[in-house]
Amino acid sequence: MKHTNPTRTEAWKKLEEHYTALRELGLKEEFRNDPERAEAFTLEWEDFYVDFSKNLITRETQSLLQELASETGLKEAIGSYFGGEQINRTEGRAVLHTALRETKDAHVEVDGENVTSEVFEVKEKIKTFSNDVIEGSKKGYTGKAFTDVVNIGIGGSDLGPVMVTEALEYYKNHLKVHFVSNVDGDHVQEVIKDLNPETTLFIIVSKSFSTQETLSNSTTIRSWFRKKAPAESVAKHFVAVSSNVPAVEEFGIETENIFPMWDWVGGRFSLWSAVGLSISLSVGYDNFESLLTGARKMDEHFRETPFKENIPVQLALLTVWYNNFFKAETQAIIPYTQYLHRFPAYLQQAIMESNGKGVDRDGNKVDYQTGNIVWGEPGTNSQHAFFQLIHQGTKLIPADFIGFKRSLHNEKDHHNKLMANFFAQTEALLAGKSSNEVRQELESKKMSEQEIEKLLPFKVFEGNKPTTTILINELTPESLGKLIALYEHQIFVQGVIWNVYSYDQWGVELGKQLASKILNEIEENDVQEHDSSTKKMLKFFLK
Ligand code: F6P
């Protein structure tokens, strides 16, 4: 990987000049003047239709951004990523979640060894285990089949599985899948209060097996379980997914109930591994496999397609364009399906934990913006919540709209309404409503000139708000796999251009360290030296 400060590249300088010339670009005029615009900025690939023509770009912007990608070494970096080089330098690790969705004949080397057979061994274990639990041949300690599954994990050991199981609810079988993540005891109690220990399976998911939240929740659940079941039944009801086998064994889980993972799979990219066991249990192994197939197809597209037609590359370049030139701080993700209601939360970890870095690959503080803020909620609910600000507020918020041509329950009437809103919003954000249009509208309502004058400024929409539309045929395990992998690769491209290490997360450590120190003080009722605010609050809390 190159260590290029992007702002020192030729392309960056050209982009700065280009931005100055173009910042007043009017999208409506661009569409009016260029009948080919939609065609030029739409990519069709498999069941994906990606239209980024409603962005504040011209063909020149696109080619300059591609120049930037080339100058920062994106092509070679993609080779290093898929080639298993230790691109996670600060932790000395390869980044190979892509190996988890490879075919059996693939050759993926980590430290000189082909890891494919190991990956397939674990996949086989996931398959057998899932089938046995779903069919009911694997039973609980009283001989009853399992009815409920609880995934205990946090961050990447929770968000991916919970997002995907929710997204694929339509494909679910009879097993009820629950998630406990927060160390908040009310969370764990709410989840277990109605569960029957005889028919509940617990999956402890922790790559490190040292995460405070997960260990506390696991210990609480194990004690709850032990109050109702004999000691030896723990082996039948608790399995773990981890790369820290000794710690799992010490917790009391049988070796055969451990699903391994590897340090070359980052937590926030791990749903494709045994971390996705709850997904496989929820929708069956075949659907889990289809999810992986979708991701693999996106991997191939990303690896092999020239930048101009490459969906993750183009979407990543747009985020750089807004983040670094328009200085837009946030990006909204609006899925028009309730099934994807956890997708923005999932992306928050994937994107912000990856590229929320202020130091470049040489360890120098960066003097440009890196990771953007990601947020969102499903449409149409979000239209009735925060869209006001996107339409008429003072901030520029580029938004990704994700929709599907077909609804799963074949609710034609609902789907037409949903999608009418989907298309209407991006059109409204682009076109806005001029004062002339507002005037005409108000005049047609027979409003007096005085009333019109008063109301007019409030009803004007400036428009010119950028959006990208991702339209997919149908929400299936495979299309979902493609969609997730698309954003994974977008993250990678951003990191290459911003010259940061995307695959570590040192920024979460300090809070953890201080929490363990403060926990001691709380338990001992002995407040030590802190800033006066923290000290006063701790005393108030302990009083
Ligand atoms: O939040 C920090 C983090 O390390 C994430 O990257 C990770 O997904 C999460 O904690 C959980 O870690 P583990 O799987 O080791 O319990």
303-340 pLDDT, tens digit each: 999 999 999 999 999 999 999 999 999 999 999 999 99
Establish whether residue 267 lines the binding site of ligand 1, counting it when its CB lies within 6 angstroms of any ligand atom.
yes
What's the number of domains the chain is made of? 3
Q: Are residues 360 and 492 in the same domain?
A: yes
Q: Are residues 247 and 377 in the same domain?
A: no
Question: Is residue 344 included in any domain, yes or no?
Answer: yes
Locate tokens 């929320």: which residue?
Answer: 356
CA-nearest residue, atom 16 of ligand 1: 206
pLDDT in tens, 255-302: 999 999 999 999 999 999 999 999 999 999 999 999 999 999 999 999
E strands of 311-385, at which residues? Answer: 330-335, 373-375
Question: Is residue 402 included in any domain, yes or no?
Answer: yes
Q: Are residues 253 and 395 in the same domain?
A: no
Whole-number Cα distances in Å, 467 to 196, 277, 283, 302, 479: 47, 35, 33, 22, 21
Q: Report residue 517's pLDDT band, with 50, 70 and 90 as the boundaries.
A: very high
User: Which of 203, 218, 270, 508 for a ligand 1 pocket mutation test, highest count of atoms within 8 Å of Cβ?
Assistant: 508
Which residues are known catalytic residues? 353, 384, 512
How many A from CA of 208 to the centre of ligand 1? 8
Question: Is residue 67 included in any domain, yes or no?
Answer: yes
Q: Are residues 338 and 362 in the same domain?
A: yes
Q: Are residues 481 and 416 in the same domain?
A: yes
Q: Are residues 127 and 254 in the same domain?
A: yes
- The enclosing domain of 153 has a CATH number of 3.40.50.10490
Distance CA 538, CA 530 (A): 10
Dihedral sign from CA coordinates of 430, 483, 179, 148: positive
Q: Which domain holds residue 172?
A: 98-289
User: Which of 207, 248, 277, 506 for a ligand 1 pocket mutation test, highest count of atoms within 8 Å of Cβ?
Assistant: 207
Question: Is residue 439 included in any domain, yes or no?
Answer: no
Q: Report residue 23's pLDDT band, with 50, 70 and 90 as the boundaries.
A: confident
232: CB partners within 8 A, 6+ apart: 141
How many A from CA of 154 to the centre of ligand 1? 6
Establish whether residue 214 lines the binding site of ligand 1, counting it when its CB lies within 6 angstroms of any ligand atom.
yes
Q: Are residues 260 and 205 in the same domain?
A: yes
Q: Are residues 239 and 225 in the same domain?
A: yes
Establish whether residue 154 lines the binding site of ligand 1, counting it when its CB lies within 6 angstroms of any ligand atom.
yes
Question: Is residue 445 included in any domain, yes or no?
Answer: no
Q: Are residues 220 and 314 in the same domain?
A: no
Q: What is the pTM of this model?
A: 0.98
Residue 502, pLDDT score: 98
Instruction: Decide which of 225, 258, 289 is a domain's last residue.
Output: 289
Decide: 104 and 119 in contact? Cβ < 8 Å: no
Distance CA 34, CA 439 (A): 28
pLDDT mean over 174-196: 98
Residue 177, pLDDT score: 98
Question: Is residue 482 included in any domain, yes or no?
Answer: yes
Q: Are residues 105 and 67 in the same domain?
A: no
> Could you give the ipTM of this predicted complex?
0.98
Query: Which one, of 436, 501, 435, 422, lies nearest residue 469 by Cα?
Result: 422
Q: Are residues 61 and 120 in the same domain?
A: no
Establish whether residue 355 lines the binding site of ligand 1, counting it when its CB lies within 6 angstroms of any ligand atom.
no
How many A from CA of 186 to the centre of ligand 1? 21
pLDDT in tens, 384-421: 999 999 999 999 999 999 999 999 999 999 999 999 99
CA-nearest residue, atom 1 of ligand 1: 155
How many A from CA of 158 to the centre of ligand 1? 9
Question: Is residue 88 included in any domain, yes or no?
Answer: no
Question: Is residue 457 included in any domain, yes or no?
Answer: no
pLDDT in tens, 53-76: 999 999 999 999 999 999 999 999
Q: Are residues 138 and 240 in the same domain?
A: yes
First-last CA distance in the chain: 54
